A and B are shown apart, each in its own frame.
Chain A
Amino acid sequence: MTPSGRAWLLLGLIGYAILPWHLADLAPLANRYPAGEAGSGLGRALFGGAWWLLPIAAGLAVATVPVVARLDRDKAAAWLVAGGGFGLALLVVQGFVIGHNGWTTAWLAAWFGAPGPRQGGLGFGAALTALALLMLLCQGLADRGWCRGDAFVVSAIGLVVALIGLFVFFPVLRILVSAFQDNAGQFSFSEFAAKVLDRSIWGLDCLTSSLRCGVAWNTLFLAVLVGVGTTALGLAFALIATRTGFRYKGALRVLTVLPIITPPFVIGLALILLFGRSGALSALLYEWFDIPRSRWIYGLPGVLIAQLLAFTPIAFLVLIGVVQGISPSLEEASQTLRASRWTTFRTVSLPLMRPGLANAFLLGFVESMADFGNPLVLGGNFEVLSTKIFFAVVGAAHDQGRAAVLSLVLLGFTLAAFWVQYAWLGKRVYTTVTGKGDSGLLLPLPRRVAWLCYATAIPWAVFTFVVYAVILVGGFVRSMGRDYTPTLEHFLTGFRIEAGRHGLFLSGSAWDSFIATLKVAAMAAPLTAVIGLLTAYLMSRQSFAGRRAFEFGTMLSFAIPGTVVGVSYILAFNVPPVEITGTAFILVMCFVFRNMPVAVRSGIATLSQIDKSLDEASLTLGARSFATVRRVILPLLRPAVVASLVYSFVRAMTAVSAVIFLVSAEYNMATTYIVGRVEAGEFGLAIAYSCVLIVVMLIAILMIQLLVGERRLGRRTAPAPVGNVAVQAAG
């Protein structure tokens, strides 16, 4: 047995025999250890009546055999596989069948008598034991020749598969299950059908009467509008950026970076400050033109404008690639056939852009569906699925089953969109890029198209800058729209530092959530990068059975809207065996698995540029996989490391949709705090806080770049554009 195998065995034994098995308060330890609530697995099994924990010891014992007896490699491996596999299976099964209130399934209760044994969520001891058993199993499999006998690779696969299973598939499964359950917990298809086809979801009353339409139609309608709008605007910007002599292209670039570091609802907030009843522009309109102040911004118009502002840059990033990718020689060919510029544009350029346009549309569509912050802030009576799900969980009804059903509908929409994109567009997107060095010149736009582009894009760009100006100014004046006296009051409310008796202390109201956010983001970012890049390494460098499912799992978590993730995490992790709601851990895990696909994609993209024989050369020089990863792959992977750290840090700072379900009093996040301020009408504080977040993120991005550093490649360098990675991932 290898030293690392022995180490895992030792850790497994510690986890089982010494550490507290279940989640429990450790405070009055004396009377609850080792056999009581805070007892170790062994203690509880022997003296605490938790007999079901005893067989796990058998697994560990079997895995110990190769240490004690001298066996040849194959036999030792077989013992490890048996012990690890058996122990792990038992651990998982007991965790799932025995819960807080006894047996978790009806037939067990019927067989063995209700209520049966009880236990809480698994704790450190159980977690460590499970990990150790898993690693022993992998070690054994590697010794039996799996993955070329590479223990590191097998262990990495085992770990990532277990994590994806636990934090992606398991929650989704829980949503499915609870959607199919009636209130008594029985499986009921008819009830599910009734819930899914409910009038409040699919009703078409708005067509025939003044009643509202179902929330699914609202969502769909909004998403289509946003998809079309962002595509049109993005195309206009892209054409201006590539095909005209427009002078302020730098400004366009800024426009593409800003939304990445802007929390999604901040735009909605700025719109309120501009167009709300007491908004700055509303005030002007009232004073100058006597246009009455109204609440028109709350509802479809507001949400639509906010989403258009938020997602146009994504369409722009997609389309600029497509427009640039059109081979100029195709257009030149058309012109040499005596087609006018307009004809060429209409018959050659535009059709070539079609796949790109469809791609941009689908991205806008999916983003709109998944968006939660803007509908929450601006929606008013206009309900969409994501907010409806939220209110089903937190509202008075507190109906998780309903939330699950709504989640399934939303998930159905987004998965369908992704499927369409994958099946239909996946093959066509790149057909405009020939891969040959084209020397032709890009054709300037026909004049009427150019005017059309300017006419849409310029007002929009001005509008965008106004919105960001509001975000900048809003934090420093007493009240936008009413009182423009400069003040630092909002910043002081949030971030006051006072000198108390025990030295400085943070008395501002925002500090708690701010620090919690920083902590969670700082933990999530490196974890995301590690797990994501490890996954990328496994997917691009190793071949193993089930790789497709593996790939699907990592991408699945990207297609699931944040609200759905939030609901699924509550359903999955509010009860044993993994009972982690209310902790920082669940927030970190949520971010890790939501943002991992970006790390995976950028990792795969970078790895595919690195010759595989570099790894192999390192292996034949006696470096094991782990050393190879550390000394050869990681240094070459720096651009991907930067991209995934930046992306996951930023997303952890700006996300609302999933975390709003998962925050607790102790771990409130900045974004949820800000949303709370908005709902309470404290716009100044909300805006000031958002500014702080944006600045913090800019600093963090710079620091990450400094820390990780550039990749040394002799002469060649490859910069990693963060924006592109984000879009790739979304695409």
Chain B
Amino acid sequence: MTKSPASVEFRSVTKRYGSVTAVDDISFTIEPGSLVTLLGPSGCGKTTTLRLIAGLEMASSGRILIGGKDVTRLSAAERDVSMVFQSYALFPHLSVLENVAYGPTVQGLPKHRAREMALEKLALVGLQGLERRSPSELSGGQQQRVAVARALVLEPQVLLFDEPLSNLDAKLRRRVRDDIRELQKRLNLTVAYVTHDQEEALAVSDRIIVMSDGRIAQSGTPRQLYEEPANLFVADFIGDANLVDGVVVEERGERALVRIDGITIEVPRRGAGLGPVRLAVRPTAVLLQRTGPGRQAVEGRIAKAAYLGKHAEYLVASPMGELFAIDRADGPLLEEGAPVWISLADREVAIVPSAEG
């Protein structure tokens, strides 16, 4: 009798707190059974968006639909949505089992039934045997799993996570992240997931909605965002980009020939016409060579170098400006101050549409 996952749809939703507009006229759709991340810097309105879905805040204008049904005016208790809070929000006066059984209990289910459902979900998150503990007697990771079990127990149409990893140590983060993704796929859940960490977002999401100042900067699959950033903000926010100026010198159908200083490369055109454009150059697309170039290159100098085990990071002074480069080659480390030849790979360089910035 598992319920089928539901879609979530925002139609021109705005949320104001007095004079502050936390969420500004946003529209999006989360497909049933997909995991969508709300990504953006702190204060951009992610949490507010999530709380709007949950019904913990009421939209100032616009409509919110869950599973095709208008829920704009429904209170949190009336929506079939659960949330895992940043602080977990486990009830300190209840045991782990009572915490998880809380949902079915307040729904008026008989005690034994509530208990059964709770035990089932505790087993699902791998917490058998800890039912009788008080939440304060669990580690951070365990508390988080209790919070997930509690949110899952009513098999909600939509599950929400607000920065679920922020209270965990770095090692644990990766594992919990994978656990959440696995659970979501296995149970075929619709999940909205808030984070400010772009790496986390790229790793877990089906789609990402990048927010900035209460608006949607871009939404799409992780790959689309990385390869075709819609604007400078997204290009910069996702996967570090060097923003450089170039000139489109020739249109070749869907592609364009762009000259950046002395280098000419071919990249997807993305609607740009002849003339100056801005480009996002990923750090891995900046190729550094000690010796004279076999292809087009400009000359630069290493300003800073850091060896990070699997790769090396450089800050390179060049005619294009200061470039951030990542070198995966296992040659010897380039020294600070050393002259280098810079060339660009034609993948991982994208024209950024200039409509907005």
Chain A's interface: helix, strand, loop or mixed, by majority? helix
Q: Are A611 and B93 neighbours in the complex by a CB distance under 8 Å?
A: no
- The answer for the CA separation of A150 and B76 in the assembled complex, in Å, is 9
B85 near A635: Cβ-Cβ < 8 Å:
no
CA distance A611 to B88 in the complex (A): 10
CB neighbours of A145 from chain B (8 A):
58, 73
Is the C-beta of A715 less than 8 angstroms from some C-beta in chain B? yes
Contacts of B85 in A (CB 8 A): 613, 616-617
Chain A residues with CB under 8 A of B170: none
Contact residues, A603-625 vs B (CB, 8 A): 611, 613-614, 616-625
The answer on a CB contact under 8 Å between A716 and B136 is: yes
Instruction: Establish whether residues B106 and A148, one from each chain, have CB atoms under 8 Å apart when the complex forms.
Output: no
In the complex, whether A207 has a CB less than 8 A from a CB of chain B is: no
Which of B49-57, B288-296, B331-339 lies at the binding interface?
B49-57
B341 at the A/B interface (Cβ < 8 Å)?
no
A714-B136 contact in complex given A149-B58, A621-B103, A631-B102, C-beta closer than 8 Å: yes
Chain A contacts of B54 at CB under 8 A? Answer: 616, 620
Q: Which residue of B lies closest to A620 (CB)?
A: B83
Q: Of B73, B76, B87, B136, which is within 8 A of A611 by CB?
A: B87
CB of A619 within 8 A of CB of B136, answer no
In the docked arrangement, what's the CA distance between A642 and B58, Å? 35
Q: Is A627 an interface residue when CB atoms closer than 8 A count as contact?
A: yes
Most buried by B among A144, A625, A632, A636: A632
Q: A148-B55, A150-B75 are in contact. Are A620 and B93 (CB under 8 A)?
A: no
Residue A143 lies at the interface, judged by CB distance under 8 Å to chain B: yes
Residue of B nearest to A617 (CB): B89
In whole angstroms, what is the CA distance A716 to B93 when docked? 10
* Chain A: CB-nearest residue to B78: A149
Asked if B56 and A618 make an inter-chain contact with CB atoms under 8 angstroms apart, the answer reads: no
The residue from A144, A616, A712, A715 contacting B76, defined by CB atoms under 8 A apart: A616
For A118, the chain B residues whose CB sits under 8 A away are: none
In whole angstroms, how far apart are the Cα atoms of A73 and B75 in the complex? 13
With contacts A622-B107, A623-B77 taken as known, whether A614 is within 8 angstroms of B89 at the C-beta atoms is yes
Q: Please report the C-alpha to C-alpha distance between residue A711 and residue B91 in the assembled complex, in whole angstroms.
A: 12
Most B-side CB within 10 Å, residue of A74, A611, A711: A611
> In the complex, are the beta carbons of A621 and B106 less than 8 A apart?
yes
Cβ–Cβ contact B91 & A622, under 8 A: no
A713 at the interface (CB under 8 A from B): yes
- Tell me whether A713 and B92 are in contact (CB under 8 A): yes
- Kindly state the separation between the CA atoms of A170 and B56 in the bound complex, as whole angstroms: 35
Q: Please give the distance in Å from B327's CB to the nearest CB on chain A.
A: 44
User: Which residue from chain A places its CB closest to the CB of B153 in the assembled complex?
Assistant: A621
B150 within 8 A of A: yes
In the bound assembly, the distance between CA atoms of A154 and B57 in angstroms comes to: 15
Among A144, A149, A632, A716, the most chain B Cβ lie within 10 Å of the Cβ of A149
User: A635: which of B78, B93, B151 is its contact (CB, 8 Å)?
Assistant: B93
Contacting residue for B75 out of A148, A618, A711, CB 8 A: A148
Give every chain B residue within 8 A of A143 (Cβ-Cβ): 73
Q: Which of B81-100 contact A (CB under 8 A)?
A: 81-83, 85-87, 89-93
Per-residue B-contact encoding for A624-668, CB less than 8 Å = 1, 0 else: 110100011001100000000000000000000000000000000
**B116 at the A/B interface (Cβ < 8 Å)?**
no
Which residues of B sit under 8 angstroms from A617, Cβ to Cβ? 83, 85, 89-91, 150
Partner of B73, one of A149, A621, A622, A713: A149
Query: How many A-B pairs fall under 8 Å by CB?
Result: 102
Given A148-B57, A714-B134, A619 and B73 touching (CB < 8 A)?
no
Chain B residues positioned under 8 Å from A618 (CB to CB): 91, 102, 106
- Given A621-B82, A712-B93, decide whether A616 and B56 contact each other with a Cβ distance below 8 A: yes
B154 at the interface (CB under 8 A from A): yes
Q: How far apart are the CA atoms of A625 and B77 in the complex, in Å? A: 8
CB distance from A540 to the nearest CB of B (A): 16
Q: Is B183 an interface residue (CB 8 A)?
A: no
Q: How many Å from the CB of B153 to the closest CB on chain A? A: 8
Chain B residues numbered 124-173 whose CB sits less than 8 Å from any CB in chain A: 134-137, 150-151, 153-154, 160
Closest to A625 in B: B77
Residues of the A chain whose Cβ atoms lie less than 8 Å from the Cβ of B82: 620-621
Report the separation of the CA atoms of residues A716 and B58 in the bound assembly, to the nearest whole angstrom.
Answer: 35
Q: Are A713 and B56 in contact (CB under 8 A)?
A: no
Note all chain A residues with C-beta closer than 8 A to B135. 714
Are A636 and B92 CB-contacts (below 8 A) given A145-B73, A148-B58, A714-B135?
yes
In the assembled complex, the Cα of A213 lies from the Cα of B57 at a distance in Å of 61
Q: Quick one: CB contact mask for A491-530 with B, threshold 8 Å, 1 for yes?
A: 0000000000000000000000000000000000000000
A56 to B83, CA, bound (A): 45
CA A713 – CA B92 in complex, angstroms? 5
In the assembled complex, how far is the CB of residue B8 from the closest CB belonging to chain A, in whole angstroms?
Answer: 14
- Closest residue of B by beta carbon distance from A143: B73
- Whether a CB of chain A sits under 8 angstroms from the CB of B263 is no
Selected contact of B154 from candidates A150, A611, A622, CB within 8 Å:
A622
Quick one: which of A150, A620, A625, A627 has the most chain B CB within 10 A? A620
Chain B neighbourhood of A614, CB < 8 A: 89, 91-92
- Interchain CA distance A614-B82 in the complex, whole Å: 13
Cα–Cα, bound, A625→B75 (Å): 10
Give B23 Cβ to nearest chain A Cβ, in Å: 15
A714–chain B nearest beta-carbon distance, Å: 4
Q: How far is the CA of A619 from the CA of B76 in the complex (A)?
A: 6
Chain B residues whose CB sits within 8 angstroms of the CB of A714 once the complex forms:
92, 134-137
Least CB distance from B47 to A in Å reads 11
Asked if B123 is at the interface (CB within 8 A of a chain A CB), the reply is no
CB distance from B303 to the nearest CB of A (A): 42
Q: A616-B85, A712-B93, A716-B136 are in contact. Are A621 and B154 (CB under 8 A)?
A: yes
Structural contact, B102 and A611, CB atoms closer than 8 A: no
Closest chain A CB from B50 CB (angstroms)? 11
Give a binary string over B98-119; 1 marks a CB under 8 Å from any A CB, 0 the rest.
0000110011000000000000
When A and B form their complex, which 4 residue pairs have the shortest distance between CB atoms, in order from nearest? Answer: A714-B134, A714-B136, A613-B89, A617-B89
Which residues of B come within 8 Å of A, CB atoms? 54-58, 73-79, 81-83, 85-87, 89-93, 102-103, 106-107, 134-137, 150-151, 153-154, 160
Interchain residue pairs with CB less than 8 A apart (24)? A73-B73, A148-B55, A148-B76, A149-B75, A614-B92, A616-B85, A619-B55, A619-B76, A620-B77, A620-B79, A620-B83, A620-B151, A621-B102, A621-B150, A621-B151, A622-B106, A623-B77, A623-B102, A623-B106, A632-B91, A714-B92, A714-B136, A715-B136, A716-B92
